[in-house]
Amino acid sequence: MSENYGDLIARSQRYLEIISQSELTQEEKEWVVKEVVEGFRENVNPGFLEYRKSVSTDYTSVEWKDSGSTFTDIWGKEFIDCLGGYGIYNVGHRHPKVLKAVMDQLQRQALHSQELLDPLRAFLAKLLGSITPGDLQYAFFVNSGTESVEAGIKFAKMYTGRRSFISTTRAFHGKSLGSLSATAKGVFRKPFLPLIPGFHHVPYGNAEAVEMMLESCAFVGEDVAAVIVEPVQGEGGVIIPPEDYLPKLRELCDKYGALLILDEVQTGMGRTGKMFACEHSNVVPDILCLAKAFGGGIMPIGATVARKPMWEKLVENPFLHTTTFGGNPVCCAAAIANINVLLEENLPQRSAESGVYMLGKLRELAEKYPAVVQEVRGKGLMIGIEFFNDELGYEVAKGLFARGVLVAGTLINAKSIRIEPPLTISREQQDQVIERLDNTLAEVDKMAGGLGK
C-alpha cells in the first residue's frame, strides 16, 4: 500500500518523537497502544494478538522499558522478568557497564569497514579464548544462536569431510534450514522437509543411543562429522541429562573421529551456575556455540568457538564462511563488557547459589500442590516446572502474568514453564516470585478439580 510520502514523513517523525521521550502523556500512551495493535494486526502478524489473548489477562500490554530484573509496560505496570528473554538477560536488563560500552563505541564507530583489522573483534576473541574451557581458541562472530549453529555445522563438514550428524530428540538449535535440520520438533520441521541430508536424531540423555548411531553410520560408510547437543535442553523444557552423558559423548566422538559440538546458546554465560555448562563435567567440545546472553542483554551477538585444527580450511581461505554484521564493533563492545561484568560480579557463582535457593522453595511448593505440579528441576538459574497437563501450565503462566511475573510458558509446550531470571536477581525478588507463584498455584489448585490429574 503506497501513501503520500508527506504523510509517511510525518508519521515516522511522530514515532521518532515517541522514541525520544522518557515520559508519555495518557493520550500518547493510548495512541501508541492503538498503533501497536493495529500494526501487529495489519503488518506484523495477527497470530501474535491471538497468542497474547490466550496467555495474558491484558493482551494490549505493550512493553516499554526495562532495568535490572524487571521491565515495565506502557501503563507503568512492573513485571519481574523470569523469562529473561529465554536466557538473554544474564547480567540483567541494560546493565550500566554494558550500556556504557555500547554508547562509547557508538560515539566513535558503529559498524566496521569490512576490510581493515577491526580492534574489538580481536579484543573479544582474545577474552573468549581465555574464558572458554580447554584448547578452544578461535572465534567466529555471528548475529544469533541460529547462525552460531549454522557455522558449527559447516565447520564440522569442512574439517572432517564427513556429511552425517547426530542430534537429539527435543533438541532446539535454531530455525534456519541448516540449524533446523538439527532441531527436533516436528511442528517446526515438517513444513520445510527435506532439510539438509544426513541428520539423525536419537533420544536425548542416552549415550548408548549415540553410540549405536555412530556405529551404524560408520558401518554403512556415512561416517558422522559431529554430534551436536545442548548440555541442558532449554526449549525442550529444561531437560538435564545424566551426569556422565557429556563425558561419554566426548569419549564416543573421539573413538569414532566425530566432532563434539556443544550448543551453549542458552546454557552459556553463567546460566547453569558455571560460566559454561560443560564445565560441570569438565568436557571440552571441539566446537562451542554461543549467543543469547553473550551480548550482555543489549546487543545481538553470537560466537562459534573452536579448537585450532578446526580452523585449518578457514585459515587457507578466511572468506569461506563470512557475515557482514557478525562481530561488528558495537556488538563486540557489548560482549566484552558482558564478560567483564559476569566475572567481576561473580555471576556464575550467584546463579548457582540462587538456583539452589529457588529450587528448594519451588520443591516446597510442588509438595504443597501435588495435584498441579508434577516436577521441578533445574541447574543454576535454568529452572523448569512441569505440570500435569498443558491447561494447568497455561493457567499458572496466566496467573503469574496477572501478578506481575513473566515466565516462559508457550503455546507449543505449556506443560512445562521455564524460569530463567537475570542472574543478578535479588533474594527479595526471588521471594516475591515464590510468593506470587504460591498464590497462583492456590488459585489453580482450586480449579484443578476440572483440570488436574
Ligand X SMILES: *Cc1c(COP(=O)(O)O)cnc(C)c1O
Segment near ligand X (CB under 6 A); pick from 73-81, 168-176, 219-227, 387-395: 168-176
151: its cell numbers:
557455522
* 395 binds ligand X per the rule CB under 6 A: no
Which residue of 184, 213, 214, 265 would you call a contact of ligand X, by CB under 6 A?
265
Q: What minimum distance in Å lies between the beta carbon of 142 and ligand X?
A: 9
CA distance between the termini of the chain: 51
Q: What minimum distance in Å lies between the beta carbon of 234 and ligand X?
A: 4
* 167 binds ligand X per the rule CB under 6 A: no
* 275 binds ligand X per the rule CB under 6 A: no
Q: What minimum distance in Å lies between the beta carbon of 291 and ligand X?
A: 5
Which residue of 84, 234, 241, 329 would you call a contact of ligand X, by CB under 6 A?
234
Segment near ligand X (CB under 6 A); pick from 106-114, 140-148, 272-280, 385-393: 140-148
Size of the site for ligand X (CB under 6 A): 16
Q: Is 87 left (phi over 0), alpha (psi -120 to 50) or beta?
A: left
Q: What minimum distance in Å lies between the beta carbon of 300 and ligand X?
A: 7
Segment near ligand X (CB under 6 A); pick from 241-249, 259-267, 325-333, 390-398: 259-267
* 149 binds ligand X per the rule CB under 6 A: yes
Q: What minimum distance in Å lies between the beta carbon of 146 and ligand X?
A: 3
* 263 binds ligand X per the rule CB under 6 A: yes
* 291 binds ligand X per the rule CB under 6 A: yes
Which residue of 73, 150, 230, 445 would you call a contact of ligand X, by CB under 6 A?
230
Residue whose CB is less far from ligand X, 172 or 388? 172
* 174 binds ligand X per the rule CB under 6 A: yes
* 266 binds ligand X per the rule CB under 6 A: yes
Segment near ligand X (CB under 6 A); pick from 144-152, 320-328, 350-358, 401-409: 144-152
Cβ contact 376:366 at 8 Å:
yes
Place of cell 541430508: 197
* 331 binds ligand X per the rule CB under 6 A: no
* 144 binds ligand X per the rule CB under 6 A: yes
Residue whose CB is less far from ligand X, 389 or 410? 410
Which residue of 69, 70, 132, 146 would you call a contact of ligand X, by CB under 6 A?
146
* 290 binds ligand X per the rule CB under 6 A: no
113: its cell numbers:
569497514
Could you tell me the sign of the dihedral formed by the alpha carbons of 316, 320, 322, 327, in that order?
negative
* 200 binds ligand X per the rule CB under 6 A: no
Sheet containing 78-81, strands listed edge to edge, beginning at the edge strand earlier in sequence: 63-67, 70-73, 78-81, 405-406
Segment near ligand X (CB under 6 A); pick from 98-106, 139-147, 276-284, 402-410: 139-147
Cβ contact 292:88 at 8 Å:
yes
Q: What minimum distance in Å lies between the beta carbon of 269 and ligand X?
A: 12
Q: What minimum distance in Å lies between the beta carbon of 414 and ligand X?
A: 18
Q: What minimum distance in Å lies between the beta carbon of 130 and ligand X?
A: 23
Residue whose CB is less far from ligand X, 234 or 399? 234
Q: What minimum distance in Å lies between the beta carbon of 73 and ligand X?
A: 23
Q: Which residues, including other chains, have CB under 8 Å from residue 193's CB and lie 6 or more apart?
A: none
128: its cell numbers:
573468549
Residue whose CB is less far from ligand X, 234 or 355? 234
Residues that bind ligand X (CB under 6 A): 86, 144-146, 149, 172-174, 230, 234-235, 263, 265-266, 291-292
